Structure 1
Amino acid sequence: MDIIEKSKELGLLIRDSEELKKLRECETRLLADENARALFSDYNKLQSELYKAVQIKSDENTIKELEKRISEKEQEIYINSVAKQFLDAKKVFDSLVRNVNSVIMYFVTGEEPCSPEKCSGCKSGCGNLNR
């Protein structure tokens, strides 16, 4: 049993998964929808502006205004059905990948997979509470 061969098998299973198929379908629809693309583009620009504002230590009002605009843009994204479907599909696929990784880590380390309920005593720094 070769680890690389098993990795290839796992990669093929993930490639052929319903989760990835759904994500790719939603991504295709997203790329074809000018409005949805513009929403994500605007959101990314606002995120970059906020990052820069924090880096140069802009005043608090500027940062709060950018955070407000980002929040409003997030709401616009979730109102757009194409964008929402993409984000929902991405969330499901990302969950699959996290679960696969948790199973692998369990068998490598013998430790139970991470969960939000166990974070109080965990020092792994995985950021699970922020997911």
Structure 2
Amino acid sequence: MISPDLPITNFTEDKLNRGAFAKSLAKTISQYSFPSSFTIGLYGEWGSGKTSLVNMMLEAVEDIDNNAIILRFNPWLCADPKQLITQFFKQMATAIKLKKPKADKAWELIDQYADVFDAASICSIIF
């Protein structure tokens, strides 16, 4: 049988029983209440299921907290390093706008902040 080499997108496709770990990770992330940020690293060889695990974990986060705003930002898709910050804030504003349209001040300010970075990168090219 031939199957595509694509990550799974939800728990119903989990044939390797990684769902429990994804749910545990989601619970840990959802319960994090410290004011500082944190980083989680998933290490594994190409094709070992890292993206599948992230997909299941994000599904579990949404199940735990329907109000969570999830931003899947892929920095390697930004060809120009100067656009990295701008794209991050633009995508963040869009994610907030889609999930919480009534939070218009928040996403508008973030979008304007991104425009400032964009203008600053253009000015640095001119000078």
Same fold (TM over 0.5): no
Structure with the larger helix share: 1
Of structures 1 and 2, the one with the larger relative CO (CA 8 A, separation 6+) is 1
Specify the structure having the higher radius of gyration (Cα): 1
- For normalisation by structure 1, the TM-score amounts to 0.31
- For normalisation by structure 2, the TM-score amounts to 0.32
